[in-house]
Amino acid sequence: MHRSGTVHFSLCIFLLVAVCSGCSAVKARDESVAPEVQQSQPADILKPSVDTMVKQKQTRLARTKLKATQSNKAAVTTRPTMTQPVRGIYVSGWVAGDKKQMAKLVRLVDRTDLNTMVIDVKNDYGNVTYRSQVDEVKAIGADVNPAIPNIKGLLAQLKAKNIYTIGRVVAFKDPYYAKKRPTMALQKKTGGVWKDKQGNLWLDPYQAKVRSYNIAIAREAAELGFDEIQFDYVRFPDNGAKVNRQVRFAPTGGKNKPAIIGTFLQEARLQVHQAGAKLSADVFGLVTSSKDDMGIGQTWRSIASTVDVISPMTYPSHYSSGTYGIHNPDLSPAAIIRQAMADAKKGNATLTTIGLQPAQIRPWLQSFTATWIEPHQHYGANQIQSQINAARKQGVTQFLLWNSECKYDYRS
């Protein structure tokens, strides 16, 4: 997903950090999915046109760092195939739309072994970062003052540089849509729209129109040329027990939180795959080891068995003291990543044992200094590399780096 927030994992308390250096999206990160899920179609009013559905890309530049290929047959397009492990960075919409800042990040990719950019499509505030053709986006003005003035030109530029592109769609934390369509937001049992303690509005995943809105944006981004769509905040608000006491959800149809998150991802997978892209989802770091959904609707089994790639947000600073027996997690990045990846591999092994195809594991790694916790350390090139090395020792060769300011001290 893109998306740095602070989370101390008792259940994860996120501190959304204000954007800086033109970076509009602060990724207070997430986790999600479900047991037995059913597949359904998104609302017709939000579906892209048939003409767009059958649109196909004809040629791809030969990729030296990473190649994504696709073909279209009867409106069902083959997913891009990655020939090398993804090694990427987060790029906010505002940075992506700034030629000078983007040129700097492209140079970083050129001189290192990085090959991927995760770019905001719909950010943490509910803003779509380019001029959209989705009817509902236009109706509510979610794409007014787009951060990226020429999305097609940007994607063409990145593809010419052999850079794999992932479109980050923040799903259910969407203050803008919730404000414009309050009946789609989580509702208080006492009346009115529910807000989290930071004052954010959340959408209700049980509402079919909410799911369709996000899926329509995801599909459009895939058709524009993104190689992969990544959902972030694909979950319910944290502190689930309190939320359950305060919120009146839309009719659940007998589905618990993990099940409806799973339904959403299956609906999205169908549309995104038809548009020729892969589907990924961000989950809380503790989802790798948690035995339940932590009240937010995310379980390893349900999500990793549905998407192509699962990205646990394994920022050492976000783990509480004592996790994995580590007193100060921020000071021990390698130990945290090693254990988290070991748990993720076990989760995938369990899926294989029961006949399910597991997703690829691609963790988000910490590329920021968590000054709000004590003790903490500066996260520079050495700390980043120690996380990468720890993941590799567990057989996980892909990674994404998160920094809300889009500033990276990375050397390959």
Provide DSSP, 47-106.
Answer: SPPHHHHT------PPPSS------EETTEEPPP--SS--EEEEE-HHHHT-HHHHHHHH
Radius of gyration of the chain (CA): 19
pLDDT in tens, 126-178: 999 999 999 999 999 999 999 999 999 999 999 999 999 999 999 999 999 99
Q: pLDDT averaged over the chain?
A: 86
Inter-CA distances, 170 with 40, 150, 232, Å = 21, 21, 5
**pTM for this model (two decimals):** 0.82
Q: Measured between alpha carbons, how far is 382 from 266 in angstroms, rounded to an integer?
A: 39
pLDDT in tens, 208-253: 999 999 999 999 999 999 999 999 999 999 999 999 999 999 999 9
Place of tokens 């839309």: 250
pLDDT of residue 412: 84
Grouping H, G, I as helix, E, B as strand and the rest as coil, residue 195 is strand
Place of tokens 């939180």: 257
Domains and CATH numbers, the chain: 44-55+85-402 (3.20.20.80)
Of the candidates 386, 361, 224, the one whose C-alpha atom is nearest the C-alpha of residue 304 is 361
- Report the DSSP beta bridge partners of residue 185: 203
Q: What is the phi-psi region of residue 239: left when phi exceeds 0, alpha when psi lies from -120 to 50, beta otherwise? A: left
Of the candidates 21, 24, 18, 20, the one whose C-alpha atom is nearest the C-alpha of residue 2 is 24
Q: Enumerate residues 6+ apart whose C-beta is below 8 A from 322.
A: none
When pLDDT is cut at 50, 70 and 90, the band that residue 81 belongs to is low
Of the candidates 18, 8, 38, 33, the one whose C-alpha atom is nearest the C-alpha of residue 92 is 18
